[in-house]
A and B are shown apart, each in its own frame.
Chain A
Amino acid sequence: MSGGSGHFAPLGGRLFTRTFAIASVLFLVAAVVLAQRFAGGLGAVANINDGYPWGMWVVVDVVIGTAFGCAGYVMALLVYILNRGHYDPLVRPALLAGLFGYTLAGVAVIIDLGRWWQFYNLLNPELMHGDSVMLEVGLCVLAYTVILWLEFAPAILERLGLRRAERIFDRGMFLLVALGVLLPTMHQSSLGTLLVVLGHQISPLWQSQLLPVLFLVSAILMGFATVVGEAVLASTGFRRPLERDLLGRVSRVMAYVALVWLVLRVVDLSVRGAFPLAFDGTVQAGMFWVEMTLHVVPLLLLASPAKRNQPPVLFASAALLLAGGIVYRINAYLVGYDPAGGTWAYFPSVPELLVTLGIFGLEVALYLLFVKKLPVLHRPEAHQA
């Protein structure tokens, strides 16, 4: 997916920096924990139990990780479906974010599967159950991960100098883009449907027939926030000019999406009469207000068109919205979840947390590797010209 090769260039420079080293150490620690996990089983490292079969690895690495990964999805939507070509400089970094978000979510699923060696059965049509939401999520995420790699392939081919292969990819790109927009639309909403299936075990503060819509809108929101946040970080970190106009326009779209999400959320809560629960002083109510605050504050920050393209406002609103999306998912999946039939309890164990941190570290290290060695970031001179 490129707006003409040559507009993007590898950053170059030294790979082994302090950030890279810290990220690598985090990953190595996680690797030790994972060796323990594969040798001794899930119970050896994770706190998940029969009441809380989905713990940190599912909620953070998969549900939240793929929401971060929606950067590629929203940019493809903007640039190719809505035909806003001027956003093109943001596409490859966004795709890279999606690539890592989804690939590492897939890795996290394997880690979290009790009998991971049976994973291939997901693809056996004889064993498929057509009514399963989980099957849909599994197949969609798998398919979209492949699509993301194909969408990103031109960057790799360009680096290798395989011009002809790159042209073939360019010709088929419309199909990849179409699938790349369809698949996340399906499974990001299904991540909400998974909770609808859990019924009364989810607190009324989060349980709703609108969950699929809320999850989809929230994923789009997090996708935009990732694009903006990543652009600001890359520009400061690599001392590059910031695409302020573009980001200002993206943040305007982001603000509208945040508004849509908030309106849906509030109307849904009111219609279902669940609001009183937000004032009963429980941990759930407290977390609900954290979630709402993290969505309202960035919306206020972005309200003024004049300030919208200021780097601090861009960064703060993107970071807060990402935090809001994270808290929303943790709330819906863990805080608002009360398993039936027992006094179940769950809090991630230290090894679980270390694995999640390690996957985050791997993501940072790979990002540095990719942008330095592959044409991912837009050429500053090409943009200014």
Chain B
Amino acid sequence: MGVIMRDGQDSGTVPDHYDTRTVGDPDGYDGALGGLKRRDFLKFCTGVAVTLGLGPGFGIRIADAATKAERPPVIWLSGQACTGCTESLLRTQHPTLESLILDHISLEYHETLNAGAGHRAEQHKEHILDKYRGQYLLIVDGSIPTGEAEAYCMVAGRTQRQSVEEAASGAAAIIATGSCASWGGIPSAAPDPTNARPVNAVVKDKPVITTPGCPANPYNLVSTVLHFLTFREFPEVDDKGRPVFAYGRLIHENCERRAHYDAGRFALEFGDEGHRKGYCLYKLGCKGPMTYANCPVIGFGDVAGEGAWPVGTGHPCFGCTEEGVGFFRPLHSLSDVENVEPPSAYPRVQAEEGEGVTPGAAAVVAGVGGAALGAGAVMTSRLARSGKGDGGDDSAGDDNARE
């Protein structure tokens, strides 16, 4: 009884392999995703394909998947979290939330978005978990309190750990979104009174895809979900379960301020000349050199696009996506550098341009020049004088000769 009920169909099968025969009538794409024109719709699907690193040719498969009548059910469980991940999902633009949950997936349970409440909402969740066992997608945000502190997060009489374990047992796939669900996030930072753990610490028999971030960039979450809908499998992930299309590169590698880092131009304190000129924030504690995320490429939170992210606004990255960095390292402490080390001595923010000639230096140069000129002239005239006398074997002598 979630706010969004699925279409009439109970279940559907999505072809495992792409086949040209399954490409629908192109005109059939008209009106997709809540009334897009065919051209706009295909452009959007191609954009999604390219974002996933699949190449534009895959756009048609994304389009097929997005227009399929069958929409997979999704259960979203929230643990110890600030709801920031949901808040930022509500503002997603690629696609918009309504097209995601109306046209792509069937969001059956989400504590923030549920229309029903209390027993009705829980009843609907139980119904879906049972009816679509092995087919639904489980998304979790927020960390899970464990051990003696397990009871600190309870919904409908069950602890978060029990809820997650129950939902995970019948899930087709599991995504942990946000840093809390991915690796523990802020609840797991000292003093960690709830013994907070990520999803993959509770669910050990199934792979958990993680899209860390505080909040997770909805672009990365939605792209991962659409990849799953299209191919029935997740994109390539790294050893921490993060999709490599989004988390394959250090922030430092694609940072718009990287050239300043390489040239040794650093902001040294907030508001100084280097900071105002947009120099590298490494010395203010930017964790970009040790944090894997695509923020410099697509911006933060899918809100305003490229350039709208912490470093773009003049604040150092604090490493929210990276376990052991965000919330663990002091905000303005120097980052480790995973690839090219910075020089151990930095140039100043304001280069000195030189003062030119000083009276002292001019005097020394003039003195030396004059002495050389005089000595040369004296030497030449002495040679000339003695040369008249005895030819080559002269003995004009200098200081050394008169020792």
Contacts and interface: CB of A to CB of B under 8 A. Distances in A.
State yes or no: do A and B come from one complex. Answer: yes
A241 B383 contact: no
Contact of A242 (B351, B352, B356, B392): B392
Nearest to A349: B361
A47 B398 contact: no
Contacts of B353: 49-51, 342-345
A229 B116 CA distance: 103
B358 interface: yes
Nearest to A319: B376
A352 B365 CA distance: 11
A353 B354 CA distance: 16
A145 B397 CA distance: 32
Interface residues of B, number: 40
Given A17-B403, A237-B401, A316-B380, A347 B394 contact: no
Nearest to A356: B368
A348 B357 CA distance: 7
B344 to A, nearest CB: 8
B355 interface: yes
Contacts of B351: 49-51, 342
Contacts of A115: 344-345
A18 B381 contact: no
A4 B59 CA distance: 86
A357 to B, nearest CB: 7
Interface string A115-126: 100000000000
Contact of B401 (A239, A312, A368): A239
B403 to A, nearest CB: 4
Contacts of A344: 353-354
A236 interface: yes
B371 to A, nearest CB: 10
Given A18-B400, A235-B394, A311 B383 contact: yes
A316 B376 contact: yes
A117 B220 CA distance: 47
Interface in B4-34: none
A347 B398 contact: no
B375 to A, nearest CB: 9
A17 B400 contact: yes
Contacts of B344: 115
Contacts of A237: 397-398, 400-401
Contacts of A80: none
A333 to B, nearest CB: 15
B365 A353 contact: yes
A346 B356 contact: yes
Nearest to B347: A50
Contact of A312 (B355, B384, B398): B384
Interface string B385-403: 0110001111111111111
B368 A357 contact: yes
Contacts of B361: 47, 347-350, 352-353
Nearest to B369: A323
B191 interface: no
A10 to B, nearest CB: 15
Interface in B338-374: 344-345, 347, 351-358, 360-362, 364-365, 368, 372
B154 to A, nearest CB: 59
B355 A47 contact: yes
A130 interface: no
B379 interface: yes
Nearest to A244: B392
Nearest to A343: B353
A50 B348 CA distance: 10
B387 A311 contact: yes
Nearest to A55: B354
A353 B401 CA distance: 28
A348 B361 CA distance: 7
A233 B372 CA distance: 14
Nearest to A357: B368
Nearest to A310: B387
Contacts of B364: 350, 353-354
B354 A114 contact: no
Contact of B379 (A48, A315, A352): A315
B393 A241 contact: yes
Contact of A353 (B368, B394, B395): B368
Contacts of A352: 361
A89 to B, nearest CB: 14
A368 B356 CA distance: 36
A310 B381 CA distance: 12
A47 B361 CA distance: 11
A52 interface: yes
Contacts of B379: 233, 236, 315, 319
A383 B352 CA distance: 58
A354 B361 CA distance: 10
A245 to B, nearest CB: 9
A13 B395 CA distance: 17
Contacts of B345: 114-115
A19 interface: yes
A326 to B, nearest CB: 10
A368 B399 CA distance: 12
Interface string B152-171: 00000000000000000000
B352 A49 contact: yes
Contacts of A348: 361, 365
A350 B364 CA distance: 7
A315 B383 contact: yes
A310 B391 CA distance: 8
A274 to B, nearest CB: 26
A164 interface: no
Contacts of A319: 376, 379-380
Interface in A308-323: 310-312, 315-316, 319, 323
A320 B351 CA distance: 39
A47 B360 CA distance: 13
A370 B229 CA distance: 86
B16 to A, nearest CB: 50
Contact of B356 (A19, A236, A347): A347
B395 A239 contact: yes
Contacts of A368: 400
Contacts of B392: 241-242, 244, 311
15 contacts: A14-B403, A19-B399, A47-B354, A233-B398, A236-B382, A236-B394, A238-B400, A239-B401, A241-B392, A311-B394, A347-B361, A347-B362, A350-B358, A353-B364, A353-B365
- The 4 closest A-B CB pairs, nearest first, are A347-B357, A345-B356, A345-B354, A312-B384
Given A19-B398, A47-B361, A311-B394, 15 more contacts: A18-B402, A19-B400, A49-B354, A236-B382, A236-B397, A236-B398, A237-B398, A237-B400, A238-B401, A342-B351, A345-B354, A345-B356, A347-B358, A349-B361, A353-B361
